[in-house]
Amino acid sequence: MQSAELKAEVPQHGTAAHPMPRSAGYQVLPDPSPLGLGAEPLPNAPPAFGVRAVLRLRRAMQKLTDALCPPELAMFDTITGVGKTALLGAVARHDIPDLLERGPLDAEGIAAQKGLDGDAVHRTLRALSTIGIFRLRSDGKFENTRLSRTLCGNKVSRIRELAIHYASGSHMAAWGDFARTLSTGRAAFDRVHGMTVWDWFEKNPDEREIFAHVMMGLTLQDAPVIATVYPWSEIKKVCDVGGGRGSLLSELLVRHPHLEGVLFDAKGVLDSADTLLTARGVRRRVELVAGSFFERVPSGADAYVLKNILHDWDDASCRTILHSIRDACPEGTKLVISESLVERNSSHLMGTVADMHMMTICSNGRERGVEEIRGLLADGGFKLARVFEYPTMSVLEGVAT
Ligand SMILES: C[S@@+](CC[C@H](N)C(=O)[O-])C[C@H]1O[C@@H](n2cnc3c(N)ncnc32)[C@H](O)[C@@H]1O
C-alpha cells in the first residue's frame, strides 16, 4: 500500500539468542470456564450515572493533582508514559503478576523462575511500584497490588492482554510514526507495515490471538449493557457482523433464550469461536459464517449488529459495509450499532483516547457523533431510529429504508 521508502524498522520479537515468548504460555484459546464464564448471564452493568460520576471524579482528581505541582513535572509524567506501556507489556508477557500471586519474591527469585535478568527485573518493578503497580517491601521483595493483580492471566477483563497488545512491536512502531499521521491524516499502522492491522493479524496469528482476547475483555464488559438497553424481544434472529469470537452474541443469547444467532467474521477468527459459545451453552443456536463484510454478509436475520466496527474504518469503507448489510436484508430490518459516541467538541475521555487509536492503528478509523452516524446510515440505506446512551458504549438503532 505504501512505498518502500516510507517503511519504518519494525521491532522484531526477540532474537535467536534471546527469543521473546510471543504468547508467553498462552493456549490457542484457553478454556473460558476458569474465567467464570458459563451459561449464566454476566453481571449487570452499573447504572449510567454511577459510571459517569466515577469517570468524572477520577479525571477531576487527576487534573487537581497536576494543578498542584509544577507543570513541567506533570508533563514529565505524561511524556514518559510510553515507557510505562512498555514496562507493563513486558511484565504481563512474562507473567510476573501471576508469579507474585504465589507469594512475595525479590527480583533474583523472580528472575530465576522466569529466566530473566535480576537487575533489570528489580529496576522495572521498582519503577512500577512508584506508581502503585507492585509494592516494594523493606525486605526487598515485591508483592502485587490491586493494580498489578489486574495483569494476572485469569481475568475476564483481559487487562494482561491489553498490556501486551499495546506494547507489541507492531503497535509501538506505528505510534512511533504518529508525527506523519498528524501531517497526512492517514493511519500510521498501514504506512509503517504496508498493510492494515487486520491483514497484519492474518499474517501474525499470535498477535491476532492476543487482540481477540483484548476485544473479548472489552466486549464482555459492554455486553450486559447492549443486551439490556435494546428491546431484543422484538428480534428473532440476530447476525453479529464482525462479531469476533461471539462475546456479545453469546450474552444476547444467554439473556434472550428466544434468539437465534449468526456469527460473521474472518475464518481465522471463527476457527476459535466454539469454546466460548459452548461454555456459554449457546453453540447450537449459533451459525458460524466466514467472510468479508466488504463483499457480502449472510441474509435472513431480522437484526444485524455492528459493535466497534464502524469506528475501525474511514467513511468510504463504512458505506461499503453498510451497503453489504443493506443488500442482504429487506426494508424494516434493524441495524444495532454499538459505538462510543464522541461529538466534535466533546471531551469524552475514553472516547477521545480510542479515537486516537483508530486514527493511528486502524484504517483511518474514527469515533463519531450521532449526526455523523446518522449521515453514514442514510448513505447506506438506513435511517437512524433510536439512540440508547451509556457513558462507555452507546447503542444506536438503524432501520433499513
Ligand atoms: C474491533 S473488533 C470488534 C469485534 C466485536 N464486534 C466486538 O466488539 O467484540 C473488529 C472485528 O472485525 C473483524 N473484521 C475485520 N475485517 C473484517 C472483514 N473484512 N469482514 C469481516 N470481519 C472483519 C475482525 O476480525 C474483528 O473481529
pLDDT at 23: 41
Distance, in Å, from the CA atom of 308 to the CA atom of 321, rounded to the nearest integer, reads 13
User: How much of the chain exceeds pLDDT 70, in percent?
Assistant: 91
Shortest-distance Cα residue to atom 17 of ligand 1? 292
Residue-level pLDDT at 347: 77
The fold of the 68-155 domain, in CATH, is Arc Repressor Mutant, subunit A (1.10.10)
Q: Which pLDDT belongs to residue 17?
A: 45
Q: Ligand 1: which of 312, 336, 362 to mutate, judged by most atoms within 8 Å of the beta carbon?
A: 312
Q: Classify domain 197-400 at the CATH superfamily level.
A: Vaccinia Virus protein VP39 (3.40.50.150)
Give yes or no on whether 68-155 and 197-400 have one common fold. Answer: no
Q: How does the average pLDDT of the chain come out, rounded?
A: 90
pLDDT in tens, 42-88: 989 889 889 989 989 999 999 999 999 999 999 998 999 999 999 99
Buried b / exposed e over 93-106, threshold 16 CB at 10 Å, is bbbbbbbbeeebbb
Q: Which residue has the higher pLDDT, 152 or 350?
A: 152
- pLDDT > 50? residue 26: no
16 vs 244 pLDDT, higher one:
244
Give the pLDDT score at 25: 40
Residues 19-26, mean pLDDT to the nearest whole number? 42
**Per-residue pLDDT at 16:** 44
| C-alpha dihedral (348, 352, 353, 357), degrees to nearest 10 | 150
Q: For position 391, what pLDDT does the model report? A: 86
- What is the pLDDT at residue 11? 44
Cβ–ligand 1 distance for 243 under 6 Å, the answer: yes
Kindly give, in sequence order, each residue whose CB lies less than 8 Å from that of residue 156, ignoring residues fewer than 6 positions away: 35, 36, 37, 217, 220
* CB of residue 312 inside a 6 A radius of ligand 1: yes
Degrees (nearest 5) of the Cα angle 247, 218, 134? 130
Q: Which of 35-49, 167-181, 323-337 has the lowest mean pLDDT?
A: 35-49
DSSP per-residue string spanning 144-181? --TTGGGGSTT-TT-HHHHHHHHTSHHHHHHHTTHHHH
- Do the beta carbons of residue 221 and residue 251 sit within 8 Å? no
Cell of residue 133, nine digits? 503497580
Looking at ligand 1, which residue's alpha carbon is closest to its atom 18? Answer: 292
Per-residue pLDDT tens over the stretch 94-151: 999 999 999 999 999 999 999 999 999 999 999 999 999 999 999 999 999 999 999 9
Residue 316 Cα to ligand 1 middle (Å): 17
Q: What is the per-residue pLDDT across 136-154, written as a single tens digit (0 to 9) for each?
A: 999 999 999 999 999 999 8
The pLDDT of 341-355, averaged and rounded, is: 87
Domain boundaries, the chain: 68-155, 197-400
Average pLDDT of 204-230? 93
Q: Give this prediction's pTM.
A: 0.89
Q: How confident is the model at residue 12, as a pLDDT?
A: 45
pLDDT given at position 350: 81
| Closest atom of ligand 1 to CA, residue 244 | 27
